[in-house]
Structures are given as structure tokens and as C-alpha cells.
Amino acid sequence: MKTRAFLLATLILAGCATGETTPGTQVAAERLAAAVVPGRTTKAELLAAFGKTKTVVFDSGYEAWLYQAPAGGGRFSEFVILVDPAGRVVRTRQRAPSTP
């Protein structure tokens, strides 16, 4: 249940985020889906494959990472990755692109 709350909080924060993109923030959705495997992918592998991105660090030690995937027409879908305190991906969630 805590995992779900973390992802929800991250999605809310991400929806409010504006400004320049961080290096590594924009990655093709297919590439993210193929490379990020909950329970196997590590934080180090994320950094090596996609670079730094927008991150929320919780007091519990969990981190939520947000990548954007271009969806055409200036829109982006959001790919949220929850990383546990040990540095392993616990869960992912993809949000469809918003309408302009």
C-alpha cells in the first residue's frame, strides 16, 4: 500500500513540474519498458542507461524517478520508477500523454 501512495504522490508532483528538462529525462517509451524490470533493474543501471532525471526522495529511503517519453504533437507520456532503499526498482507506472 505504501508503494501505491509513493507513486500517487510522485504522479501528482510530476504533473505540476515545469521548466527545462533534465538530461536523460526524455527517453522512448519502448526503450524504458524493455530495459526497466521491477525486482531486477538497479539504480546504477538506470543512471547508466538513461542518465539523471527528476527524482523525489522520500524519508523512508525510497525514490521515485520520472522520465518522459515523446508521444507526438508536443505531448509526453510519463514513466515513473519506484526505487527501494537498496537501490533496486520495485515498481513502474506509465501515464498516458495529457491533451494540450
> What's the pLDDT score for residue 73?
84
Instruction: Output the nine-digit C-alpha cell for 36.
Output: 526497466
Burial string for 18-35 (b: 16+ CB within 10 Å, else e) reads eeeebebbebebeebeee
Q: Choose which CATH entry (3.40.50, 1.10.3470, 3.30.1450, 1.20.1440) describes domain 2-95.
A: 3.30.1450
Rounded Cα–Cα distance for residues 71 and 87 (Å): 29
> What's the pLDDT score for residue 100?
61
> What's the pLDDT score for residue 4?
58
Every domain of the chain and the residues it spans: 2-95
> What's the pLDDT score for residue 85?
97
**Residues of the chain under the 50 pLDDT cut:** 11, 16-21, 23
DSSP per-residue codes, 65-84: EEEEEEEETTEEEEEEEEE-
> What's the pLDDT score for residue 72?
83
> What's the pLDDT score for residue 16?
47
> What's the pLDDT score for residue 38?
96
pTM: 0.71
> What's the pLDDT score for residue 21?
45
**Which class for 64: exposed (0-12), middle (13-18), buried (19 or more C-beta within 10 A)?**
buried
